[in-house]
Amino acid sequence: MLRIRMSRQGATHRPFYRLIVSDSRRRPGSTAVDTVGHYDATRRPAAFKIDLPRVEAWIRKGAVASERVKGLIAKARKAAP
């Protein structure tokens, strides 16, 4: 099954996350099928960018978002005009 989840990037004590679509049986740091956004929690306020049309397309194809990513998607939908 495909999952939309966060993959940690960045240096020690400077995390940066990519929102990726990958096989649920693989580690989040392994190869991704697609990258659909990013999230930087170290900024105040937290900065994120999500490509909503691509996320929705993956969800229609059967991908499941993690709990944290579901929250980010909901925030992105509120912010979208």
The mean pLDDT value of the chain amounts to 91
**pLDDT recorded at residue 32:** 86
**Domains observed in the chain:** 2-79 (3.30.1320.10)
Q: Is the pLDDT of residue 42 over 80?
A: yes
Using CA atoms, how far apart are residues 62 and 41, in angstroms rounded to an integer? 28
The tokens describing 3, both together, are 């999952």
User: What percent of the chain has pLDDT above 90?
Assistant: 77
Q: Which residue in this structure is represented by tokens 């049986």?
A: 25
| Res. 30: pLDDT tops 80 | no
77 pLDDT higher than 80: yes
pLDDT at 64 over 90: yes
pTM: 0.86
